[in-house]
Amino acid sequence: MFKFKPLSKRETRLILFFFLLLGFSVRIIFVPYWVKIDGDLLLFSDWGIKFWQYGTKDFYFVKDWHYATPNYPPIISLVYGASYWLFDHKFYLAQLHNLIRIPPAVFIIYFYREGYWLLLKMPSILSDLGIAAIIYKLVKDFTKSFKVAFAASLFYLFNPISIFLSGVWGQSDSMVSLLGMGAFTLLIRGMPGASILFYFSSLYIKPNWLIFAPLYLFIFYKLRPKLRSLVIGSVSTIALFVVSTAPFAKEGILPFSWWLLRERIIPTATVAGKLSVSAFNFYTIFFTIDKHPVTTQVLGLPLGMAGWILFLTVNLIVISGLVKKKLSEPDVVYSLFTIGFAGFLFLPNMLERYFFPSFIPMIILIFSQPRLLTYGLIINMSLFMNIVWAFFRRTKGEINDFFTENNFLVIRILSSLVALSWLFIVTRGEFQTKHVTSLKNKLLMLKFSRG
């Protein structure tokens, strides 16, 4: 048999770079597809255009919007505004081509036609490459295996979920999660100042990773970083906050920020008032997706409130298990998956994409512990079908019918698979710390008490 010599660092980097470039190219291919039915992308494009038409001071206050008023924090608004500015100045590409023949004419023709969509999606596409690198690094550190780490990285890079969300849908979830995952990784690796800046940046693009705030604060407290790191991180974060917010603040940064939180961000998160808006989660096993309100009661308890109680209970169990043990990166990854996916399963008003904060930790877990791989693949398949249904349900009747006929049978089956697979990963993982055992026992008690 042939025996291959170990790869050098240079060869490893070349291989990784090649596949990152390939993953980037795959996403670029999908950029022009289904643009006209992508309501969110059309909304983002409208924000980018009106960013310059209305000016930053009026951007959040003008009510004359074709789709919806801006309801995201300022950083992402700056990103969309920059995307349109670059596209609006595309004539420089032609001038550059006339001078040095670069870029080629074929790219200029493509950019004039699809450039705005490309620029709107580019931050998320590039973030996917960064996430693949983080997954490779962490799995390599956990398993000491290049092959396993490489496979985990490719699993994310060529995963239909990540390709669809960034290359097709143009959502910002990978951007948010790159910074969020980076924040926890930097924190546990002794760089709390940079971690603070990363975590704030994630929240100030879109506050999806706010569900991990109790875990983040606990880890921060337990590690007790030096005052110097706290000062550096805090000053850097305040500077970013001021610089990114000032262009939009008419009457002061703090009054504007409070108004944005009160009038736009919080109402957006709760406006649907449904147990599940479009997520295949615990509620859609028993109730109708996008129909039953959060006030639906079982045994006199509103299910929306019950979901919050259950989610906070999972937080308490996980964090209490970490109190008396030395923190490790595997513990943090396990905790992120357990808490993040509990949010997706049990919190009300869930959209189909809100599993993403736990998606990266899941991939790290299932490749670090091969016996969990089957459950991870089931979750992956179910969630991909979830986002396909959510994206096409209003424009492709045959797709919507497949999921909703026979009293939403397919949705109920997929929701059951997602919930059970999460339970199996949580209770059968090899990172058997006290919080794993405690959560396992409590979940089993809950199961038997109902069965």
What's the confidence (pLDDT) of residue 431? 57
Residue whose C-alpha is closest to residue 23's, from 202, 179, 182, 174: 174
Whether 87 has a pLDDT exceeding 70, the answer reads yes
Residue-wise pLDDT for 320-367, tens only, equals 999 988 889 999 999 999 999 999 999 999 999 999 999 999 999 999
Q: Does residue 366 contact residue 337 with C-beta atoms inside 8 Å?
A: no
Contacts of 44 (CB under 8 A, 6+ apart): 80, 120, 170
Residue whose C-alpha is closest to residue 182's, from 229, 146, 130: 130
Whether 440 has a pLDDT exceeding 60, the answer reads no
What number is the average pLDDT over the span 201-222?
Answer: 96
% residues pLDDT > 70 (the chain):
94
What's the confidence (pLDDT) of residue 260? 94
Helical ranges in 246-372 per DSSP H: 253-260, 266-270, 283-286, 303-322, 329-346, 356-368
Whether 434 has a pLDDT exceeding 70, the answer reads no
Coil vs helix vs strand at 301: strand
> CA geometry: angle at 212 spanning 206 and 214, to 5°?
130
**Exposed/middle/buried for 6, CB within 10 Å: 0-12, 13-18, 19+?**
exposed
Contacts of 23 (CB under 8 A, 6+ apart): 128, 129, 132, 157, 158
In angstroms, the Cα distances linking 65 to 61, 120, 172 are 10, 18, 21
Whether 450 has a pLDDT exceeding 70, the answer reads no
Q: What share of the chain is helix, strand, coil (3-state, %, to 5)?
A: 75, 0, 20
What number is the average pLDDT over the span 210-227?
Answer: 94
What number is the average pLDDT over the span 59-87?
Answer: 92
Q: How many CB atoms lie within 10 A of CB 301?
A: 11
Q: Does residue 332 contact residue 188 with C-beta atoms inside 8 Å?
A: yes
Distance of alpha carbon 205 from alpha carbon 175, whole angstroms: 8
Whether 137 has a pLDDT exceeding 50, the answer reads yes
**Look-up of token digits 């023949």:** 101
What's the confidence (pLDDT) of residue 271? 75
Bridge partners, residue 350, by sequence? 276
Query: Which of the 8 DSSP states describes residue 298?
Result: E
Coil vs helix vs strand at 63: coil
The pLDDT confidence band at residue 370, using thresholds 50, 70 and 90, is very high
426, two tokens: 């949580």
> CA geometry: angle at 398 spanning 394 and 404, to 5°?
75
Residue whose C-alpha is closest to residue 17's, from 150, 180, 120, 159: 150
Residue-wise pLDDT for 229-282, tens only, equals 999 999 999 999 999 999 999 889 999 999 999 999 988 877 778 999 999 999
In angstroms, the Cα distances linking 163 to 30, 150, 159, 183, 242 are 8, 18, 6, 23, 34
Coil vs helix vs strand at 302: strand
The pLDDT confidence band at residue 449, using thresholds 50, 70 and 90, is very low
Half-sphere exposure of 307 (CA within 13 A, CB side): 25
Q: Does residue 185 contact residue 53 with C-beta atoms inside 8 Å?
A: no
Whether 32 has a pLDDT exceeding 50, the answer reads yes
Average per-residue pLDDT in the chain?
Answer: 91
